[in-house]
Amino acid sequence: MKHQFEQLRLESVCRNFVNAEGQPVAALQGLDLNIRRGEFIALLGPSGCGKSTALNCIAGLQPLSGGGIWLDEKRIDVLPPEKRGFGMVFQNYALFPHMSVLDNVGFGLKMRGVAKAETAKRAREALQLVQLVGHEKKLPGQLSGGQQQRVAIARAIVIEPPLILMDEPLSNLDTKLRIEMRAEIRRIHTQLDRATIYVTHDQDEALSMADRIVVMREGVVQQVATPKEVYGRPKNLHVARFMGYRNVLPFTLEGTQGEGVAVEANGVRLVGMAMDGFSSKRVAVALRPEDMERAAPGSENAFDAQVTTVEYGGRDSLIRVKSAFGELWARVAGEFTEGERITLRVPPTRTLVYDGEPT
Ligand code: ATP
C-alpha cells in the first residue's frame, strides 16, 4: 500500500479571517491533534465553530495563520494540496456531470499520468469497494444522491490517500439513506485501514461513526474523547448542551455522597456526578430529557412536576414540566395531559454537576 503513515500531528494550528466589516475572526485558535493510522475522527460542533476551516487547513485548501502540520516526520502544511495527496469528499459531491462514473473516479489518476488501462482497473476496484459495479457507464445525473456520494468516495480513495477528509458528506441525503451511508462509510474506512477525518454538526452521526470526537466551539477545541466519554462525561456545559443536555439548572452544592455529590434547590435534593472541582457552592446541573423516567413519589433522585406542554411522539412524549427548581424538558414513555401532576426521576449517574452558575 502506498503512502502509509503512522501519525498526523497538528500543533497549535491557527487560521484567521477578516470579516465583511473588516474585523478579524479567529476561525481556528491553537488546534492540537494527533491522529493515528486506522482512526476515524469526527470534528463536531455547531455552524461556524471552525470545522470546515480545520479540514481545509489539513487539505491545504487554506494556508495556516500559525502552527504546523506533520505527517510522521514530514512537515506538510508548507505543501500544496496535490503534494499532500489527501482524498476529499464534499457535501455537494462535486462530480463532473458530463463524465461517466468510471471517468469521474479515474480522473485523479489520469491527472497524475497513470496509464489508461491501469486507471480503468483501479477505478473499477474503487467502484467495487463502494458497491457500484454495473454503474460505470452512467452519468452522475442518472444516479441517486446516495450513489453519487459513493462515486465521490470512490474518486477520493482511488488515489490511495493516507488520509480521507469528508466535509458533511451526508447532509444532502434523506434521513433513511443517511443512516445507511453511515455504516457504509465506516465499512469503507475499516477496509482501507487509512485515517478518516469527518466534519459534521450531527451528534448522532459523530457518536455512531467515530473512534474519537473533537468537539469544537468558536474555533477552540472543547474536548477530544471517545463517543462514550463525550456523551457520558461532557467536559463542560458547552459540550453538554451540544450533546443534548438541554436542561441546565442552578443548584447549591451540599457535599459528597458516596461516589457522587448531593445538590439542593428549593427543597429538591438530587445526587449527581461531579464533573469539575468546585470553587463555590454554586453549581449547574445538566440533565438530558431522555434520561428522565416516571417514578413513585419519594423515590431516590425523584421530584414532583406539573406538565405544562406536551408534544406527542408515538413511543414517547416530549413534555415541558414545572418543578420546584425550575422548568425542564423530559422525554418519557406514555401519554400526558397539560396540567397533570407527575413524579419524575433521573439516575444519579445521569445527573451531571458542573462548577458555577448555568451559562
Ligand atoms: P459550517 O458547518 O456552517 O460550515 P464550520 O464549523 O465549518 O461551519 P467554518 O466554515 O470553518 O465553520 O467557519 C469558522 C468561522 O470562520 C466562521 O465564523 C466563519 O464566518 C469564518 N470564515 C470562514 N471562512 C471565511 C472566509 N473565507 N472569510 C471570512 N470569514 C470566514
- Give the count of alpha carbons within 13 A of 198, CB side only: 28
Residue 217 in contact with ligand 1 by CB distance below 6 A:
no
Within 8 A by CB and 6+ apart from 113, the residues are: none
* Interior angle at CA 82, CA 29 and CA 169, nearest 5: 65
Q: How far from 315 is each of 206, 290, 310, 333, CA to CA, in Å?
A: 25, 12, 13, 6
pLDDT in tens, the chain (359 residues): 455 788 999 999 999 999 899 998 999 999 999 999 999 999 999 998 999 999 999 999 999 999 999 999 999 999 999 889 899 998 887 899 999 999 999 998 998 899 999 999 999 999 998 889 999 999 999 998 889 989 999 999 998 899 999 999 888 888 888 898 899 899 989 988 889 999 999 999 999 999 999 999 999 999 999 999 999 999 999 999 999 999 999 999 999 888 899 999 999 999 999 999 999 999 999 999 999 999 998 899 999 999 999 999 888 999 999 999 999 999 999 889 999 999 999 999 999 999 999 98
Cell triple for 15: 487560521
Ligand 1 mean position, distance from CA 27 (Å): 6
Ligand 1 mean position, distance from CA 26 (Å): 10
CB 236 within 8 A of CB 242: no
Q: Name the closest-CA residue to atom 5, ligand 1.
A: 48
Q: Other CB atoms closer than 10 Å to residue 26's CB: what's the count?
A: 16
- Amino acid letter, residue 144: S
Position 261 scores a pLDDT of 96
Position 1 scores a pLDDT of 43
Ramachandran angles phi, psi of 68, nearest 5°? -155, 165
Q: Other CB atoms closer than 10 Å to residue 203's CB: what's the count?
A: 19
* Stretch(es) of the chain classified as CATH 3.40.50.300: 7-238
Residue ranges of E strands in 201-348:
212-217, 220-225, 247-257, 260-265, 268-274, 282-287, 293-294, 302-312, 316-323, 326-333, 341-345
Ligand 1 mean position, distance from CA 19 (Å): 10
Q: Name the closest-CA residue to atom 3, ligand 1.
A: 47
Q: Is the pTM of this model over 0.85?
A: yes
- Reported CATH class of domain 247-355: mainly beta
Task: From 14, 15, 16, 17, give the residue whose CB has the most ligand 1 atoms within 8 Å, as the site to mutate.
Answer: 17
Quickly name the fold that domain 7-238 has. Rossmann fold (3.40.50)
Q: Which atom of ligand 1 is nearest to the CA of 54?
A: 11
Residue 49 in contact with ligand 1 by CB distance below 6 A:
yes
Q: Name the closest-CA residue to atom 15, ligand 1.
A: 27
User: Where are the alpha helices (H) located in 130-224, listed in sequence order?
Assistant: 145-157, 175-192, 203-209
